Amino acid sequence: MSKKFNKKEFINDVKANVRALYRRNLDEATQQQIFQAVSYTVKDTIIDNWLATQEQYEKDDPKYVYYMSMEFLMGRALGNNLINLTEYEDVKEALAEIGFDLNVIEDQEPDAALGNGGLGRLAACFLDSLATLGYPAYGCGIRYRYGMFKQKIEDGYQVEVPDNWLKDGNPFELRRPEYAKEVKFGGYVRVVYDEKTGRNHFVQEGYQVVRAVPYDFPIVGYNNRVVNTLRVWDAEAVSEFQLDSFDKGDYRKAVEQENLARNIVEVLYPNDNHYAGKELRLKQQYFFISASVQAAVSKYKKKHSDIRKFYEKATFQLNDTHPTVAVAELMRILIDEEGLTWEEAWDVTTKTCAYTNHTIMAEALEKWPIELFSRLLPRIYQIIEEINRRFVAEIEARYPGNFEKVRKMAIIFDGQVKMAHLAIAAGYSVNGVAELHTEILKKQELKDFYEMMPEKFNNKTNGITQRRFLLHGNPLLAAWVTDHIGDEWITDLPQIAKLKVYADDRKAQQEFMNIKYQNKVRLAKYIREHNGIEVDPRSIFDVQVKRLHEYKRQLLNILHVMYLYNQIKDHPEMDFYPRTFIFGAKAAAGYRRAKLTIKLINSVADVINNDASIKNKLKVVFIEDYRVSNAELIFAAADVSEQISTASKEASGTGNMKFMLNGAPTLGTMDGANVEIVKEVGEENAFIFGLSADEVINYENNGGYYPENIFNSDQDIRRVLMQLINGTYAPNDPEMFRDIYDSLLNTKSSDRADTYFILADFKSYAEAQRRVEEAYRDEARWAKMAMLNTACSGKFTSDRTIQQYVDEIWHLDKEVIEA
Ligand code: CRA
């Protein structure tokens, strides 16, 4: 497909790049310099395809999806680009010939961590699938100078270190100053009556302006020459004094504008599933949205004159409510700049925008105070007021005299602008990210909206890309799969079901488990080098990696470890299969209880790992700085996938799918996409426990439950909880974990005790863990289970998810790049 790889040429190009970039010869170059030189060489190939793609799109004039997202958690680019160019093995060989190891070179690349967790990584998987399926797409986002912080563990505590990911330069990005746009903040709106048209015009004055400069990242499709674009915006000060007549020569304002530009894209907010309400965050949102919407409109106008048909060539997918100002920004451009009437503009906007909901957690809902919103975005606020006025009128027409409905559904109410309500009112589609989640939206969280506009609601169960999470991350298993069923799974994951015929085959089982073992050895080496802890690859690798959040219940996991430790200490003779509990998680910088949970995990690890009396039966490892690049190693090496959120709280999860693909059975609750995983693989090939979503919701609607009853009646649980406050894991400060203890038992604050039902699910979890051990002891049974997890993971490719978005929401045509 691509121009045939030529080893000699490749090596020469790398040499030439090292000379041009660093004035060095190969033997003097550092590994980082080789990484840069190799990346520029690869970029050259990509640029050919990028141009070819652009030319094709130019010719065909297709409809584009603009995937608008505050987050794109891309991880590393080099390895993935080579995989998708199908040149990974060629380059590995070429580099080996000149004395370099591709793996080591790949390790020189910092992760592009422009995201927090699942939502950002989902966006990255979607871009990979869009390019691979040949759909015209732009990712639209922010080029944060600092991405997700790097996590150091010091004395068991998380310490956040700035992620200066651009310090050595970023070989794959392309600055496009010719596409810069101006974004305006603040000031006020002057209404001018136009006698000729008989209409009011709205002129923003006294504002500050920031120049948005796009950087384009190539998104390489798998083996199809398609290269789409992730466009992330940088902010620069407008250099000349471009202030309007009012402000000419206003020096103070010029300085303010410069500061605004400097601050706006400085750093990613490190909150997952949590809204902090910071003014700078709203600035970030409007900044990248205004630039992206302007760019989309300019692009359309290059070829088309009737802006009223904009939606035929563009659709905006809003990744959660973070980009929802796009609705009002599009209205503003259509009315103020393109001269459409309100009705015409609304028709276009409501055929362009679609919204994805990613959570039901109340603390994640974005609600901006009117004061802040109208001060920062006066014209946008005006437009939202009018959208709200009309929407409220619709509600009243539909439910006459029912003020309750208005109270619950209005976009502006109680001094706040509710972004989800705006997204639903203006979107032509509202989707959840797993079947259970979508049902909860329809029946609970968004019930009133569903009742009023059921046709908008639909489900798109999340997915992941097998190219990164199997082909790149687990090369041994990828090769084994290809040996057995051919390589079509790379672009057609459901084909992986062909492995089912090997599930009972002893030889295949042994090969499968041997690969798992080698991956465990690889991870053990990583842990030794990065954590200084020795783990035994023959033990069960039981893994929970994800953001640290109370609803995800890392606490349940570590309390259970404490319980097991008590058992082993009490019954040294007990037959216990060695287990390594592996955690990886970043806590939001301001989330105190989450950070204390990290300290608890590390404190428990300290005690257990240093207790020679338990003869290595138990190990606990907290992997520092969990991120996309080390995640690839971790999934490949996992035996057990911990997906233990309180039922109803995890909208989907996507880590659960990565584990499954790599042959790790799920130990989990019936939550999010776990429900669908179990449906695909069969209940006998997973370990399910705990309250159901209905049961949890039922308790919640009826005032909670009583954890103290469990505390009082169960001595194992009581003992574990007492160990939180008697110094067992903090001899120098027995009060250290008091807050965690209180969170489970104390109703003194307004919080309910044990909000996340940890004690309620404890016994059932411990019992499921016993089933895990029993299953693992039976080698053939376990191998079969593991293999069936891989074989049944076909549904969870992001290729399927994207095809559903295309068929049911976006309606795009597939592009083929002609030779
Ligand atoms: N935190 C959900 O919690 C889901 C992803 C992607 C999340 C996950 O269960 O898999 O989105 N929600 O759909 C979110 O970010 C703002 O809400 C997440 O990543």
Distance CA 426, CA 383 (A): 12
Split at pLDDT 50, 70, 90, the class of 255 is confident
Q: Do 385 and 492 lie in a common domain?
A: no
Split at pLDDT 50, 70, 90, the class of 152 is very high
547 is catalytic: yes
Q: Is 99 among the domain residues?
A: no
Q: What is the pLDDT of residue 425?
A: 98
Split at pLDDT 50, 70, 90, the class of 245 is very low
Distance CA 605, CA 729 (A): 9
Q: What is the pLDDT of residue 218?
A: 98
Q: Is 106 among the domain residues?
A: no
Q: Do 655 and 557 lie in a common domain?
A: yes
Task: Yes or no: say if 111 and 76 are a contact pair by the CB < 8 Å rule.
Answer: yes
Residues sharing a CB contact under 8 Å with residue 168, sequence separation 6 or more, in sequence order: 32, 36, 110
Distance CA 72, CA 654 (A): 15
Q: Do 647 and 764 lie in a common domain?
A: yes
Q: Is 730 among the domain residues?
A: no
Q: Give the CB-side neighbour count of residue 140, counting CA atoms within 13 A.
A: 30
Give residue 321's domain range: 61-76+111-389
Residue type, 388: N
CA 416 to ligand 1 center in whole angstroms = 24
Q: What is the pLDDT of residue 1?
A: 46
552 is catalytic: yes
**680-714 residue pLDDT tens:** 999 999 999 999 999 999 999 998 899 999 999 99
Residue 277 DSSP class: -
Among 683, 672, 710, which Cα is nearest to 785's? 683
Please determine, for residue 259, whether its predicted confidence score (pLDDT) is greater than 60.
yes
Q: Do 493 and 616 lie in a common domain?
A: yes
Q: What is the pLDDT of residue 96?
A: 98
Q: Is 522 among the domain residues?
A: yes
ipTM field: 0.98
Task: Yes or no: say if 387 and 417 are a contact pair by the CB < 8 Å rule.
Answer: no
3-state DSSP assignment of residue 261: helix
Residues sharing a CB contact under 8 Å with residue 280, sequence separation 6 or more, in sequence order: 263, 264
- pLDDT, average across residues 803-810: 99
- pLDDT, average across residues 623-648: 98
Q: What is the pLDDT of residue 793?
A: 99
Among 493, 603, 550, which Cα is nearest to 740's? 550
Task: Yes or no: say if 343 and 383 are a contact pair by the CB < 8 Å rule.
Answer: no
358 is catalytic: yes
**560-589 residue pLDDT tens:** 999 999 999 999 999 999 999 999 999 999
Q: Which residues pair with 229 in a beta bridge?
A: 138, 218
Residue type, 103: N
- Domain's final residue, options 342, 365, 389: 389
Q: Do 339 and 476 lie in a common domain?
A: no
- pLDDT, average across residues 289-293: 99
- Domain's final residue, options 389, 424, 440: 389
The active-site residue out of 627, 658, 784, 800 is 658
Q: What is the pLDDT of residue 209?
A: 96
Q: Is the Cα dihedral 709, 710, 711, 715 positive or negative?
A: positive
The tokens describing 232, both together, are 């992330």
**314-368 residue pLDDT tens:** 999 999 999 999 999 999 999 999 999 999 999 999 999 999 999 999 999 999 9
Q: How many domains does the chain have?
A: 2
CA 596 to chain centre: 24
Q: Do 385 and 475 lie in a common domain?
A: no
For the chain, give the mean pLDDT: 97
Q: Which pairing describes strands 64-68 and 72-75: parallel, antiparallel, or unpaired?
A: unpaired
CA 257 to ligand 1 center in whole angstroms = 34
The tokens describing 245, both together, are 């007549």
CATH of the domain at 645: 3.40.50.2000
Q: Do 371 and 502 lie in a common domain?
A: no
Residue nearest to atom 16 of ligand 1 (CA): 273
Please determine, for residue 102, whether its predicted confidence score (pLDDT) is greater than 80.
yes
- pLDDT, average across residues 733-743: 97
Q: What is the pLDDT of residue 819?
A: 74
- Ligand 1 site residues (CB inside 6 A) read 117-119, 122, 272-273, 320, 358-359, 364, 433, 462, 650-654, 672
Split at pLDDT 50, 70, 90, the class of 749 is low
408 is catalytic: no
Q: What percent of the chain has pLDDT over 70?
A: 98
CA 319 to ligand 1 center in whole angstroms = 10
Residues sharing a CB contact under 8 Å with residue 710, sequence separation 6 or more, in sequence order: 717, 759, 760, 762
- Residue 816 backbone dihedrals phi, psi, to 5 degrees: -125, 130
Q: Do 558 and 668 lie in a common domain?
A: yes
- pLDDT, average across residues 776-789: 98
Q: Measured between alpha carbons, how far is residue 732 from residues 555, 622, 729 in Å?
A: 22, 22, 9
Residue nearest to atom 12 of ligand 1 (CA): 358
Among 607, 538, 533, 615, which Cα is nearest to 573's? 615
Q: Is 507 among the domain residues?
A: yes
Please determine, for residue 2, whether its predicted confidence score (pLDDT) is greater than 60.
no
Q: Do 297 and 187 lie in a common domain?
A: yes
Among 461, 535, 536, 503, which Cα is nearest to 798's? 461
Ligand 1: which of 119, 546, 659 to mutate, most ligand atoms within 8 Å of CB? 119
- Residue 711 backbone dihedrals phi, psi, to 5 degrees: -55, -45
User: How many other C-beta atoms can be found within 10 angstroms of the C-beta atom of residue 784?
Assistant: 22
Q: Which ligand 1 atom sits nearest the alpha carbon of residue 117?
A: 19
Ligand 1: which of 281, 358, 436 to mutate, most ligand atoms within 8 Å of CB? 358
Please determine, for residue 239, whether its predicted confidence score (pLDDT) is greater than 80.
no
3-state DSSP assignment of residue 284: helix
Distance CA 188, CA 308 (A): 28
CA 120 to ligand 1 center in whole angstroms = 8
Q: Is 447 among the domain residues?
A: no
Q: What is the pLDDT of residue 484?
A: 98
- Domain's final residue, options 389, 422, 439: 389
Helices marked H in 61-117 — which ranges? 78-84, 88-97, 102-106
Q: Which ligand 1 atom sits nearest the alpha carbon of residue 116?
A: 19
7 is catalytic: no
**4-53 residue pLDDT tens:** 899 999 999 999 999 999 999 999 999 999 999 999 999 999 999 999 99
The tokens describing 818, both together, are 């002609």
Q: Is 448 among the domain residues?
A: no
Q: Is 81 among the domain residues?
A: no
The active-site residue out of 654, 669, 728, 797 is 654
Q: Do 481 and 382 lie in a common domain?
A: no
Residue nearest to atom 8 of ligand 1 (CA): 653
Distance CA 149, CA 387 (A): 38
Q: Give the CB-side neighbour count of residue 622, counting CA atoms within 13 A.
A: 30
